[in-house]
Amino acid sequence: MQHVVIGAGPAGVVAAEHLRKHDPSAGITIVGAEPEPPYSRMAIPYYLIRQIDETGTHLRKRPGWYEQQDIEVRQGRVASVDPDGDSIRLDDGGVIRYDKLLIATGASPLTPPIPGTDLPGVHNCWNLDDARAIIEYCAPEKRIVLIGAGFIGCIILEALAASGAEVHVVEMENRMVPRMMNETAGGMIRQWCENKGIQVHTSTKVESIEKSGGGLGVSLGSGETIDADLVITATGVASNIDFARDSGIDIDEGVRVNEYLQTSRDNVYAAGDCAQGRDFSTGEYSVQAIQPTAVEHGQIAARNMTLGHKRHHWGTVNMNVLATLGLISSSFGLWMGADGGDSTELLDRDGFRYLNLQFQDDVLVGASSLGLTEHVGVLRGLIQSRTPLRKWKDKLKRDPTRIMEAYLANTHAIGYNSHVFSPR
């Protein structure tokens, strides 16, 4: 049995390790496009502030780990896949045959349709190569314009600001992190950033980037022009699926998969940012492009590839945690609310603390928070277990911070005589 995994990110590496666990004798090959050992893009913001060096970004740190696991890690960019011939072709002409294939090619940043994005000094912030380029600009006296105040934009803000550079953020939506935060929380993140000296421009687009003096001139839809030494574009990502477009494998926004992460071809699976997997909350198939989903997909795909389709996958909970200049935010599931549902929120605007819970009947279906660092994962647990909250829904509506108590009271036996009473 030869398993081939395309992609050396978290989904691919976790999948390869689980393939090995479930199938000790199989051949396992990971094909990664970048020259570095498998690394994590999640760690790049910490590389930018020089908290870690490049090795600190590596997914696995033990020397010889892949050799010990008998996992071959091969550098190469996949040009095409031939599901009829059970093989993939690399852009150097090499051909790799597989019995089972996992597509875990991840995503790439979208370049916004703005004139001038090809100029020197305009970068994405996605891979280590981008980070190396950006780190050169991170210095006092420099002027940086960040296009896009989404997750990636916000998570690198700290690195940009910490360098002492003058930083502008331009977001076409009306608030920061619009895909993760509602207007209240997005507005608070903006205020937090402005208090720390970031210049935030929302509800406006960058119209063009032009050479100007020794640097760049960034023209906004509002008519304003900002001088910059560095422009970073962080306007979303798209699945890396071009190589499979002519393969006959069913492709949409990402590689289409069923509830077993199997593609339209029986022996081809997909996982992570390139897979259009099931969303736990909506039941729909969409690309989530988040670390926890990449890892879960990798585990599940590996199991299904080796042990058969024993268990239906209910989908992954869309969730994110983000620190924007030290302000921590998180969002889970249907944080924006469910049809026919209800909600509660606790707001301390001056203290930059916020907690919003979304219910459907007596089940938690979504949540978002600012400044919450304790027990935040139980929000995921309550959502994913669909635990009926019973009388605890009303208690949470009065005090949303009691999420751990709500979880414990409904899943554990608590208090005197608890061995005879059921949880309630």
24-63: contacts with other proteins (CB under 8 A)? 40-43, 45-46, 51-52, 56-61
284 sits near other proteins (criterion: CB under 8 A): no
Stretch that binds other proteins, among 110-118, 222-230, 243-251, 408-416 (CB under 8 A): 408-416
311 sits near other proteins (criterion: CB under 8 A): yes
398 sits near other proteins (criterion: CB under 8 A): no
Stretch that binds other proteins, among 171-179, 197-205, 299-307, 350-358 (CB under 8 A): 299-307
Q: Could you say which residues in the range 165-184 bind other proteins, by CB under 8 A?
A: none
Nearest CB to other proteins, comparing residues 98 and 260? 260
- Return the amino acid letter for 350: D
412 sits near other proteins (criterion: CB under 8 A): yes
Task: Report d(CA 76, CA 341) in Å as an integer.
Answer: 48
Nearest CB to other proteins, comparing residues 219 and 387? 387
Nearest CB to other proteins, comparing residues 98 and 335? 335
Pick from 296, 305, 335, 354 the residue near other proteins by CB under 8 A.
296
Helix locations, 232-309, DSSP H: 291-307
Please state the closest distance from residue 272 (CB atom) to other proteins, in A.
12
C-alpha dihedral sign at 81, 85, 86, 89: negative
Q: Could you say which residues in the range 312-371 bind other proteins, by CB under 8 A?
A: 312-314, 316, 319-321, 323, 326, 328, 330, 332
Please state the closest distance from residue 292 (CB atom) to other proteins, in A.
5
391 sits near other proteins (criterion: CB under 8 A): no
Count of other CB atoms within 10 angstroms of residue 307: 11
Q: What are phi and psi of 407, to 5 degrees?
A: -65, -50
377 sits near other proteins (criterion: CB under 8 A): yes
Task: Report d(CA 266, CA 259) in Å as an integer.
Answer: 13
Stretch that binds other proteins, among 68-76, 78-86, 262-270, 375-383 (CB under 8 A): 375-383
How far, rounded to the nearest angstrom, does the alpha carbon of residue 405 sit from its chain's CA centroid?
29
310 sits near other proteins (criterion: CB under 8 A): yes
Residues in the chain: 424
234 sits near other proteins (criterion: CB under 8 A): no
3-state secondary structure of 46: helix
**Residue from 89, 92, 155 nearest 126 by CA:** 155
Residue with tokens 């339209």, as numbered in its chain: 264
CA dihedral 331, 333, 339, 345 (to 10 degrees): -30
Nearest CB to other proteins, comparing residues 197 and 326? 326
**Residue from 110, 109, 78 nearest 92 by CA:** 78
| Residue burial 200-229, b: 16+ Cβ < 10 Å; e: rest | bbbeeebeebeeeeeebbbbbeeeeebebb
Nearest CB to other proteins, comparing residues 283 and 310? 310
Pick from 50, 74, 132, 375 the residue near other proteins by CB under 8 A.
375
Pick from 117, 124, 299, 324 the residue near other proteins by CB under 8 A.
299
Q: Answer for the pair 370, 183: CB distance below 8 angstroms, yes or no.
A: no
Please state the closest distance from residue 84 (CB atom) to other proteins, in A.
31
Task: Report d(CA 101, CA 116) in Å as an integer.
Answer: 39
- Helix H or strand E encompassing 194: helix 183-195
The dihedral region occupied by 119, where left means phi > 0, alpha psi between -120 and 50, and beta the remainder, is: beta
Nearest CB to other proteins, comparing residues 23 and 82? 23
Q: What are phi and psi of 365, to 5 degrees?
A: -120, -10
Nearest CB to other proteins, comparing residues 21 and 97? 21
Q: Could you say which residues in the range 54-113 bind other proteins, by CB under 8 A?
A: 56-61
Please state the closest distance from residue 97 (CB atom) to other proteins, in A.
29
Q: What number of chain residues touch other proteins (CB under 8 A)?
A: 71
Nearest CB to other proteins, comparing residues 40 and 358? 40
Quick one: tokens of 229? 């030494």
Pick from 221, 248, 351, 423 the residue near other proteins by CB under 8 A.
423
404 sits near other proteins (criterion: CB under 8 A): yes
Instruction: Please give the sequence-ordered ranges of beta strands (E in DSSP) within 8-65, or none if there are none.
Output: 27-32
Please state the closest distance from residue 280 (CB atom) to other proteins, in A.
8
According to DSSP, the β-strands at 71-75 and 2-6 are unpaired
Stretch that binds other proteins, among 87-95, 144-152, 305-313, 354-362 (CB under 8 A): 305-313
End-to-end CA distance of the chain: 49
Nearest CB to other proteins, comparing residues 247 and 387? 387
